[in-house]
Structure 1
Amino acid sequence: MNAEASAFVGLLRACAKKKDCCRGARIHADVLKRGFLDRNSHVAEYLVALYANCGVLPKAQELLDALHIRGVVAWTALIAGYTRYGHCQHALQCYDRMQQEGIAADVVTFTCVLKACGTLGDFDKGKQIHDLISKQNLLDNDVFLGTALVDMYAKCGALVKAHLALDELPCRDVICWNALITGYAQHEQGQNALDCFEHMQQEGLFPNAVTFTCALKACGHIGDINKGEAIHDEIMKQDFLREDLSLGNALVDMYMKCGDLAKAQEVLELLPIRDVISWSALIGGYAQQGQGQEALDCFEKMQIEGLSPNSVTLTCLLKACSSIGAADKGEKIHDEIVRQGLLESSIVLGNGLVDMYAKCGALAKARQVLNDLPVRNVISWSTLIAGYADQGQGHNAISCMERMQQEGFSPNAVTFTCLLKACSSIGATEKGEEFHDDISRQGFFKNNVALGTALVDMYAKCGALAKAQRAFEELPSGDVVCWSALIAGYAQHGYGEKALHCFELMQLNGLSPDTITFSSVLNACSHSGLVGEGELIFDSMTREFGIKPNVEHVASMVALFGHAGHLDKAVEVIQKIPSLQSSPAVWLSLMGACKRWGDVNIGQWAFEQAVRPLMNPILT
């Protein structure tokens, strides 16, 4: 290569590095004028590299295709450009063409191709590249190639393979470990990520900001707040928060996911810099924990700082409004979404709006929003169907399903769960059976306990107890909620003995009853007059299972004793639990029993206890 050609190559490399396409185009024109494109392949290859690096990929491809001799530099530059700008399938096609032309890939080529495989999740292609690299012993002295290999397997979800690839590398650095830790964190294998975090330090490598960010994400996934606090302390020692906003956001998110909302807010307020992502993490955490007002308060503080919400913030705010029934605030969020024109590009926001109005009981508004959405999917419809089912409007829920199907959407497991609940609310056994057939045909029961529970609950509430029992027995597995639904069905329809039998079978199957199970079985005893059984079960709640009786449990026992004429025992149950003595349900149950047995004295006392909370404000 003569001096003039070398000068052109140097200029083109400088333009490519700075992504100065305008100056590069002028040099290209000068190269054409002097005839170097035909005479010097090196200049032509670096022109391809210039356009590829600047993202002008059609021009880079056109130039490469016109070359009489195409070397590894030009091919690698184009592959790198396609990969960098997200056209990974084109990158792999270029690699295949390069091989067909007999051009041997170098370390840089392989690094770029591995990145493309990782982005596409193309494990098979990535494995082929790994085999070629191993045959050529290219991993011996190149940590960048080793990192690309680990990263490819991690992004493909082949984490065991990624870990093995890292273990086999002759030399490792913090970036290589970060690739594996990131993979574990992204695939929610938090403990494995933290184990790698420890191993890396044992090798004498110190974590950087990326490592800490991924480790915090791992702590959040597994709820390990102690490890998260230790990492927080190390971050403070290194003073990383001063310059790394993403690390501060990861800290807020970790504390939120571990349930320490106060600490998350404290961390956010102490961050030297905050952005919309920081605030959205905090708002999302409060919304997730059902603390809607706190989420809305955070939003106001965020606005005071001059930050505008993005689609993630607004989605979290809609969830917050849903949790506290704040339809008026939700309407303001709706206005902001419309003002930013976000519904055109975010179906998640549209679904969030439908959900917010539905959960706030504004079903007409929810339906109107759904009708106006530019794009709808099965989640949009399922959200509205759920709203109608929750409000006991079963007929409207079923009508929505029919409209959904007319639009070409098929119900999924969530939709069917809501539809079964709708059938329960209106006693539509025949419609429920139709859904049962559809669910069985599509095989949804295999891995969905919630759907199986909804089916049992539907038959039980509709009084079709034999079908409820049969549906229960056909389920691949049943949890405590499913057992409780069956017990509740028997209790509701006066089959106390069968409810007790189910209660015993559930425990024989290794499942411990929860608060709802005890409510159902005590209700069964009350309706069937099973006094002795009810006493034993009530006593076992705290003694054997550590469950404190609630108002519903006590009211059932009062009704059970009262119905049998054991008013003294009913009074004794109430007096043992002072915290529940302010509940009207307990006293109403006792007064009903007193009326039945004509006990004026206890009845008068029960009445006085019931009205005392109402009288106290007047007396004070």
Structure 2
Amino acid sequence: MRCGWSKAFIATSHHSCRRNPAATVPFTSSRQRSFRTYLDLRPGSNLSPPQQYDSESSPHITEDFYLDLLSLCTNSKSARQGICVHSPIIKLGFHGTLPLNNHLFAFYSRFAGAETARKLFDELTERDVVTWTGIISTYSRIRNHVEALFLFKCMLEDDSPVVPNEFTFSSAIHSAASLRLLDLGTQIHAQVWKRGFDTNTVVGSVMLDVYAKCSRLKEALEIFASMDYRDVISWTTMISALVKSRDWIGAMQMYSRMIENGTSPTEFTFAELLKACGCFFALRCALMLHAHLLLWGVELNLVLKTALIDMYLKCGRMNDALKVFRQTTDSDVKLWTTMISRYSQAERYQEAISMFKDMKNAGVMPNSFTYAAILSVSSSASEPELGKQIHCRVVKAGLEHDLSVANSLVDLYAKYSLDPVDMMRAFRGIASPNVVSWTAFIAGLARHGFEQKALLASVEMRLAGVEPNSYTLSTVLTSCNSAEALPHARKLQAFMIKTKVESPGLVAENSLVDAYARFGRVDDALAVANTMMPHRDVFTYTSLAKGLNQVGLHRRALDLIACMHKEDVKIDGFSLSCFLSAAAGLAATELGKQFHGLTVKSGLSSLISVSNALIDMYGKCGSMEESRRIFMAIKEPDVVSWNGLISALASNGLFMEALSTFEDMRIARAQPDGVTFLLVLYACSHGGLVDAGVEYFNSMHEVCGVMPQPEHYVCLVDMLGRVGRLEAAACAIETMPFQADALIYKTLLASCRQHGNLVLGECTARKALEIDPLDPAIYVLLASIYDDAGNVEWAEQTRRMMRERATKKCKGQSWLE
């Protein structure tokens, strides 16, 4: 092997010298003459004799001469000339000289790479500590730490063992620290103590690093305290260790001791300290460090610039970060991407977009993380057109299959594309979707109303080998809206209990509570809150209160206030709205007034959700003046505010005022929704304003763009039936674009009883019983029609059928404070 290696280098050196025989570099005059002498004597030169050279025939060529030549080649960074030197070294028999081989090895490791240097190392029959340290440090420098530690082990187990020096130990410990191998690090530490290097500054600094990276701060502090001399590397290593262990105060105290010790900080010291400022300390401390940086005259290189910008961004000082960013032209794609991402997180989307444009003008090519960030900006800023343009750039850059970019594309199309095919195409283009991809896809399906597909996608996700996280579970549970999704929610609960999914901020648990509350399963929701949650927050109690109100358990909803107080959970605007709804459901005026006082004291009265709940509460309690006063205090009422006032007026019999308020709403250019028209139709129905009601119904879609739903047709049928327009009501049922349900037939049946229309009543009752034969209300209404018509026998027969077929009718209830 050695012969082949030598021939290979001789051939290489001859070839390179023949290609450029005059290739030299400027040297000092004396050494330049030596180097020219070498050129004159090399093979192929006009002055070189044809015979083989050796040390006897060329007595003026010595080992020191080649050492000087290699030093010149190293200093001039001339790799080609260094290779040329290797050839005559072998020819003249100097290749067995250890100092010369060490110089050659250092040259190859620096200019030819680790693999080439390794070939030379394997050929050497004699190796000393310099040789071993050189090869170990070479692999450590290129981050091949496994091979570096293997060579360190071979050094200790060699037949003629070589004693490591401080530089050998330093490289080995650095590799152990990089791999987080604490056991190996402590073993090497024992060797350091045994060899007497425990007080050495070089070894001590690296030992600090291994204990710091392995989260053994106590041992690192002990080593630091035992060091006789501490240089800036040692101090910076300790500061970095304290920052990583989140001991921010300790890091700043260490910096203060460093200054008192007379050690000047470097840019790396400030970079570590600025991390602490961005994470914990007040802005004043961060500004102090920036002032120290200027005081010490530390150059603002890219590392320090990045740390400064990151610190200001974390402190929310976007303008200061921008000043530092523009202070020098030194930047890279990571820094640009950080600026764009931070602007996006601060919801300053237009500035993020401007920053992306400036990046392009500066000639910096975006990478996948940049495109992912700007796509996220497009999604958050409701800029789908910009997102499509970025998508084109992504395709041109060949990054459409990058996972982070593809995930951002799925999220963009899930939120803003009217065609779900765009989202599906983006998702199917991902070769190996991760949990983020699946979560965005499921959220998109739910947003487009594909509940069953969202549930199936969650199953497909697990079949693909991707385990859901808490955000995925929350997304799936949020998509569960129909009663058919209840079994799936139970399965997800079992999965959460079995796998013990970590849920930061109780995201998944709160979503489960909310899902059960939406289904009216308040006992299940309370069970989850009491058994699966180590503690409950305001979101938990808001969901519970909302669910209890939904099933009419308003008193139990109000009992949650005591639980919140006991667990020191503060009431926010949303939870207070739920408690106000509970007071409204109980028509508890005094309790509602107490809540009103709480809203004023807590400063929540300015929230529109609280104001809307107060309008509804006072309206249901009959306090119309208070309801109007609160509405008038809202600067910009939304559709819920208008609906609340219209509902309060209509439910208190003020039907004309309710319709007048609706006209005021249209004048104010507030967009009515389906609930608004339900209230308007209710007011027309109970106020006897049939023609106006029909006109409002016809204008829903034509004027306001609101498609009539089945509940609107129920109101229309009730309105027509109250004034005896039974044929028009029946025609409305037959012509509506929905499948009629039992409720709308019962509504018409009640009108038939009111106006004594036996024929239409029988026909309507027959159709209602076909849909729901167990509803006792249908039998009661039909029997009453027979009684009014004097047909007692048929009435009795109808009641007998009700007792045989129908379920028991619940008694009506009322409440008065």
TM more than 0.5: yes
Aligned residue type for 1:380: T
Identify the match of residue 201 of structure 2 among 21, 37, 41: 41
C-alpha displacement at 1:106, in angstroms?
Answer: 1.0
Mapping for residues 169-184 of structure 1, pairs under 5 Å: 169-184=328-343
2:656 aligns with 497
User: How far apart are 1:486 and its partner, in Å?
Assistant: 0.9
Which deviations, in whole Å up to 9, do the C-alpha atoms of 1:170-222 show, x marking residues without a partner?
A: 22221110110111233343343233222211211111121122122222212
Structural mapping, 1:326-405, within 5 Å: 326-342=485-501, 347-378=506-537, 379-405=539-565
Alignment equivalent of 2:587, drawn from 415, 427, 436 = 427
> What CA distance in whole angstroms lies between the structure 2 residues aligned with 1:575 and 1:288?
31
Aligned residue for 1:128? 288
Report what 2:405 is aligned to. 247
**Paired position in structure 2 for 1:311:** 470
Aligned partner of 1:618 in structure 2 is none
CA contact (8 A) 2:248 2:280 kept: yes
- Structure 1 segment 478-497 matched on structure 2, within 5 A: 478-497=637-656
Q: Does 1:227 pair with 2:383?
A: no
Q: CA deviation at 1:465?
A: 2.0
Shift of 1:393: 1.8
Residue 432 of structure 2 aligns to a residue whose secondary structure is coil
Does the CA-based 8 Å contact 1:121-1:155 persist in structure 2? Answer: no
- Number of the residue aligned with 1:442: 602
1:610 to 1:112, Cα distance in 2 relative to 1, 3 A: farther
Distance 2:533 2:683 in 1: 50
1:30-55 Cα offsets, whole Å, 9 max, x none, are 443444444x4344333323433444
Distance 2:722 2:193 in 1: 103
Which of 440, 455, 473 lines up with 1:296 in the alignment? 455
Within the candidate set 80, 95, 105, 2:240 is matched to 80
The match for 1:154 among 313, 337, 343 is 313
Once the two structures are TM-superposed, the CA of residue 421 in structure 1 deviates from its matched residue by: 1.8
The answer as to 2:429 corresponding to 1:270 is yes
CA deviation after TM superposition for structure 1 residue 578, in Å:
5.8
- Alpha-carbon distance in 2 for matches of 1:420, 1:413: 10
**2:717–2:733 Cα contact (<8 Å) kept:** no
Deviations 1:553-583 (A, max 9, x none): 5665666566667889x68995998647968
Aligned mate of 1:28, from 157, 170, 189: 189
Which SS does the other structure have where 1:166 is aligned? helix
Partner of 1:192: helix, strand, or coil? helix
Write the distance in 1 (CA, Å) between the matches of 2:312 and 2:382: 26
Contact 2:173 2:207 (C-alpha < 8 Å) held by counterparts: yes
2:541 maps to a residue whose letter is W
| CA deviation string 1:366-410 (max 9, x = no partner) | 222222235132332322221111122212222333344344444
Of 600, 603, 618, which aligns to 1:459?
Answer: 618
Corresponding residue number in structure 1 for 2:416: 258
Preserved contact between residue 445 and residue 475 of structure 1 (Cα < 8 Å): no
Tell me the residue number matched to 1:216: 375
**TM-score normalised by L of structure 2:** 0.66
| Partners of 2:568 and 2:192 in 1: CA distance | 58
1:377 maps to amino acid: R
Structure 1: distance between partners of 2:766 and 2:382: 43
Query: 1 CA distance for matches of 2:365 and 2:504?
Result: 42
Cα separation, 2, equivalents of 1:575 and 1:332: 40
Distance of 1:17 and 1:591 partners within structure 2: 81
**Which stretch shifts more, 302-311 or 121-130?**
121-130
Higher RCO (CA < 8 A, seq sep 6+)? 1
CA distance in 2: counterparts of 1:229 and 1:344, whole angstroms: 34
Check the 8 A contact 1:189/1:218 in 2, yes or no. Answer: no
Once structures 1 and 2 are overlaid, which stretch shifts more, 107-116 or 324-333?
Answer: 324-333
Question: Aligned partners of 1:298, 1:589: CA distance in 2, in Å?
Answer: 41
Counterpart secondary structure, 2:193:
helix
Name the residue aligned to 2:440.
281
1:511 and 2:670 matched: yes
1:449, distance to aligned residue in structure 2 (A): 0.9
1:527 is the counterpart of 2:686 = yes
Aligned to 1:240, the other structure's residue is in SS state coil
Aligned-residue offset at 1:107: 0.9
1:57 to 217, 235, 238: 217
> What is the distance in 2 between the residues matched to 1:186 and 1:256?
20
Q: Distance in 2 between matches of 1:325 and 1:384?
A: 21
Count of residues paired in the alignment: 607
Question: CA 1:232–1:317 in 2, change beyond 3 Å: closer, same or farther?
Answer: same
- Residues 308 and 413 (structure 1 numbering): CA distance in 2 closer, same or farther, change over 3 Å? same
Compute the displacement of 1:411 (Å): 3.0
Task: Give the drift of 1:115.
Answer: 2.4
8 A contact 2:271–2:304 mirrored in 1? yes
Q: 1:293 to 1:557 in 2, by over 3 A?
A: closer
Residue 346 (structure 1) shift: 6.9
Give the letter aligned to residue 526 of structure 1. Answer: S
**2:512·2:525 contact (CA, 8 Å) conserved in 1?**
yes
Distance of aligned partners of 1:610 and 1:215 in 2 relative to their CA distance in 1, 3 Å threshold: farther
CA distance in 2, matches of 1:10, 1:181: 38
CA distance, structure 2, for counterparts of residue 266 and residue 488 of structure 1:
45
Separation of aligned partners in 1, 2:512 and 2:739: 41
Report the CA distance shift for 1:307/1:529 in structure 2 as closer, same or farther (over 3 A).
same
Three-state SS of the structure 1 residue aligned to 2:480 is helix
> Cα distance, 1:108 vs. partner?
0.9
The structure-2 alpha-carbon separation of the partners of 1:343 and 1:108, relative to structure 1 and needing over 3 Å to count, comes to closer
The AA in structure 1 aligned to 2:239 is I
| Distance (whole Å) between structure 1 residues aligned to residue 576 and residue 769 of structure 2 | 44
The alpha carbon displacement at 1:110 in A equals: 1.4
Distance 1:320 1:575 in 2: 32
Q: Which protein is bigger by CA-based radius of gyration?
A: 2
1:226: how far off?
3.1
Aligned twin of 1:164: 323
d(CA) in 2 for partners of 1:37, 1:137:
34
Q: Secondary structure at the match of 2:605?
A: coil
**8 Å CA contact retained: 1:420, 1:454:** yes
Helix, strand or coil: the match of 1:273? coil
CA distance in structure 2 between the aligned counterparts of 1:585 and 1:9, rounded to whole angstroms: 83
Distance change >3 Å, CA 329–CA 410, structure 1 → 2: same
Is contact 2:746-2:765 (8 Å) kept?
no
Deviation at 1:246, TM superposition (A): 3.4
Matching of residues 529-608 of structure 1 within 5 Å: 529-530=688-689, 541=700, 545-550=704-709, 556=715, 579=737
The structure with more helix, counted as a fraction of residues? 1
Deviates more, 1:499-508 or 1:162-171: 499-508
Q: Give 1:97-108 correspondences, 5 Å limit.
A: 97-108=257-268
Residue 25 of structure 2 corresponds to which residue in structure 1?
A: none
Determine if contact 1:256/1:282 at 8 Å carries over to the other structure. Answer: yes
Please report the TM-score for the alignment, with normalisation by the length of structure 1. 0.84
Higher mean C-alpha displacement, 570-579 vs 100-109: 570-579
Q: How far apart, in 2, do the equivalents of 1:484 and 1:212 lie?
A: 43
Report what 1:113 is aligned to.
273
